[in-house]
Amino acid sequence: MSAGTVMKASLETHIAPIFAPICGKPITRGAFVSEKIEYKVCRNCVMDTTVPNIQFDMQGICHFCNNFKSAQNSQKFKKINRKHQLATMLEKIKVQGRKDKYDCIIGISGGVDSSYLALKVAEWGLRPLVLHVDTGWNSELAVKNIEQVCKSLSFDLVTFVVDWAEMRDLQLAFLRSGVANQDIPQDHVIFAALYKYAKKAKIKNVLDGSNYATESVLPETWGYDAMDSKQLIGIHKQFGTMKLKTFPVLNFLDFNINFKFFGRMRVHNPLNFIDYNKKGAIKLLERDFGWRYYDGKHFESRWTKFFQAYYLPYRFGYDKRKAHLSSLILSKQITRGEAIERLKVPLYNEVDLKPDKIFISKKLQISPEEFDNLISLPLRHFSEFPNYQLQRQLAIRCFSLFTDFFDFWKTKKKAP
Ligand SMILES: [Zn+2]
């Protein structure tokens, strides 16, 4: 049987379950994907041609799977001793912050990753300042989870409340722009506040719950970088109605250069150094902290739930569950069959959708009709608005060249 026949058979078997409905509308293709492209889904994970630039090899395996496999097989990855790296990182953090009240700062949303990170930080004997950024969209469950975790671990919790008038104006500006990533205002302010609090409290180490185990697959073409301040300000300038006086904006230089090189601030992702298992983390948090799980990833925010489960798939054809589930397949936490079963569940049902839309429109102080009009505007690509994409790509390239050179230099130094 040829590879082509294998792929065709696989597609015929798996197309139907992958087409999960959103209120009766099946996801047939993503935005900015040519109509001519034949629908395909990876034979190893559940990523498909709703990703505009997805590539498949002759065996029908997507580039996300192949990149993951190449990274795992690389010499660099094989040489990594995660236990040793974690111990070194923790030691450095403790030494750097030994004279201070806090030796690190962590952000907490009430979701699995950040709550589990808090738990591990306590186990590792660190003294963190815990920051929660209240963007106005917290679910009651999120608030309870945050309180339970911090109280149980006796951590100091600071809540930064974003000025709602400014947050609302920014979110409406993004809705008017019609771009895919409507979570930019929320994601940006969470990171910006974290960095600014760290700077103010002179804390050098920021610990972040992002991790490869549950987030290795994330198509860039499904959205755009939330830390691009030029895009944030550009869209607000064009569609906003008031000045952003208190909303923390992290500019390109601060985010990419000043904090890292002059402020000597380091962002660590310690969940990458342990065997992070999502199911196990949820079980532990529920058992020991009275923590409760949400229906989906990042659904601790009522806005993010609507954005991920309705706005993005309904308007753009991007179902983020596919990326989350594919990450779990690659880290061997679920099987492909389980992922396909989960994708059969409708993203949103009519019973929840109507009250959620009413809640969001009330919160944004617009009528449900106006909200419906905003989410029906023509689709726009991020590149139609001001952005730092070129500078960002250059910065990534330079950083990669620098780390490659550093690794080469270290190997040369060790050689007899
Ligand atoms: Zn794949």
CA of 50 to the centre of ligand 1 (A): 13
CA of 5 to the centre of ligand 1 (A): 18
pLDDT of residue 223: 86
CA of 386 to the centre of ligand 1 (A): 32
CA of 385 to the centre of ligand 1 (A): 31
Cβ-proximal residues to 349 (8 Å cutoff; 6+ apart), any chain: 23
pLDDT of residue 306: 92
CA distance 128 to 133: 16
CA of 217 to the centre of ligand 1 (A): 9
Tell me: pLDDT of 293 over 70: yes
Compute CA distances 155 → 126, 136, 288, whole Å: 10, 23, 16
Lowest mean pLDDT among 26-40, 156-170, 238-252, 387-401: 26-40
CA of 389 to the centre of ligand 1 (A): 26
Pair 43, 61: CB distance under 8 Å? yes
Q: Which domains does the chain have, with CATH numbers?
A: 1-80+319-345 (no CATH), 81-296 (3.40.50.620)
Query: Mean pLDDT for the chain?
Result: 87
pLDDT of residue 46: 96
Compute CA distances 58 → 34, 213, 264, whole Å: 21, 26, 46
What is the percentage of the chain residues whose pLDDT exceeds 70?
87
CA of 219 to the centre of ligand 1 (A): 12
pLDDT of residue 347: 86
pLDDT of residue 90: 97
CA of 63 to the centre of ligand 1 (A): 6
CA of 228 to the centre of ligand 1 (A): 28
Pair 188, 232: CB distance under 8 Å? yes
CA of 149 to the centre of ligand 1 (A): 35
CA of 44 to the centre of ligand 1 (A): 5
Cβ-proximal residues to 317 (8 Å cutoff; 6+ apart), any chain: 27, 28, 29, 30, 31, 33, 50
CA of 16 to the centre of ligand 1 (A): 17
CA of 211 to the centre of ligand 1 (A): 18
CA of 306 to the centre of ligand 1 (A): 26
CA of 46 to the centre of ligand 1 (A): 6
Tell me: pLDDT of 376 over 60: yes
Tell me: pLDDT of 10 over 50: no
Structure tokens at 325: 């589930």
Tell me: pLDDT of 44 over 80: yes
CA of 327 to the centre of ligand 1 (A): 9
CA distance 362 to 348: 20
pLDDT of residue 358: 94
**For 311-358, what is each residue's pLDDT tens digit?**
999 899 899 999 999 999 999 999 999 999 999 888 887 788 899 999
CA distance 191 to 133: 9
Closest CA to 211 of 125, 104, 82: 82
Tell me: pLDDT of 2 over 80: no
CA distance 319 to 171: 21
Distance of CA 116 to the CA centre of its chain: 16
Beta strands in 170-224 (DSSP E): 205-207
CA of 338 to the centre of ligand 1 (A): 15
CA of 91 to the centre of ligand 1 (A): 37
pLDDT of residue 396: 75
CA of 12 to the centre of ligand 1 (A): 17
Residues with C-beta atoms within 5 A of ion ligand 1: 42, 44-45, 47, 62, 64-65
pLDDT of residue 301: 78
CA of 33 to the centre of ligand 1 (A): 18
Helix extents (H) in 43-163? 63-73, 75-79, 82-96, 112-123, 140-153
CA of 66 to the centre of ligand 1 (A): 7
CA distance 182 to 369: 19
Number of Cβ atoms within 10 Å of the Cβ of 59: 14
Cβ-proximal residues to 360 (8 Å cutoff; 6+ apart), any chain: 302, 303, 306, 371
CA of 269 to the centre of ligand 1 (A): 24
CA of 40 to the centre of ligand 1 (A): 11
CA of 61 to the centre of ligand 1 (A): 5
Tell me: pLDDT of 18 over 60: no
CA of 34 to the centre of ligand 1 (A): 20
Pair 178, 379: CB distance under 8 Å? yes
Q: What is the mean pLDDT of residues 226-233?
A: 95
CA of 344 to the centre of ligand 1 (A): 18
CA of 206 to the centre of ligand 1 (A): 32
Lowest mean pLDDT among 58-67, 198-207, 215-224, 249-258: 249-258
pLDDT of residue 416: 56
CA distance 142 to 136: 12
CA of 279 to the centre of ligand 1 (A): 22
